[in-house]
Amino acid sequence: AQTVTQSQPEMSVQEAETVTLSCTYDTSESDYYLFWYKQPPSRQMILVIRQEAYKQQNATENRFSVNFQKAAKSFSLKISDSQLGDAAMYFCAYRSAIGQGAQKLVFGQGTRLTINP
């Protein structure tokens, strides 16, 4: 079974600075997807960014980018120019590309990000 580990329960950053959230995962599959979800105090789960494992290029979405290291099974999220609205729980998630595990998300434990004004 696949597992996802986020080793940083809490992180904080000054407004306008850059922060990196870590995620590692364990799988024997070669084809899969990785995601970062944001959960603000409203509890709504919001997709921040996704990465296809077959793509070597790291995904970017405006101020959010990832560092995907397939061999190391590492998938970190970088938030640039941090804003107060970025404060939330961030979850890393894994999904198989094929087979019975496809479509099912496996989540890490989450990292609580605080933005200091």
Binding site for other proteins (CB under 8 A): 4, 6, 9, 33, 42-45, 47, 50, 52, 91, 93, 95, 97, 102-110
Distance CA 114, CA 117 (A): 10
96, β-bridge pairs: 32, 102
For residue 55, the minimal CB distance to other proteins (Å) is 11
Return the number of the residue (39 or 80) whose C-beta is nearest other proteins. 39
How are beta strands 64-69 and 10-14 bridged, if at all? unpaired
Distance CA 45, CA 37 (A): 6
For residue 33, the minimal CB distance to other proteins (Å) is 4
For residue 72, the minimal CB distance to other proteins (Å) is 21
CB 112 within 8 A of CB 89: yes
Return the number of the residue (80 or 95) whose C-beta is nearest other proteins. 95
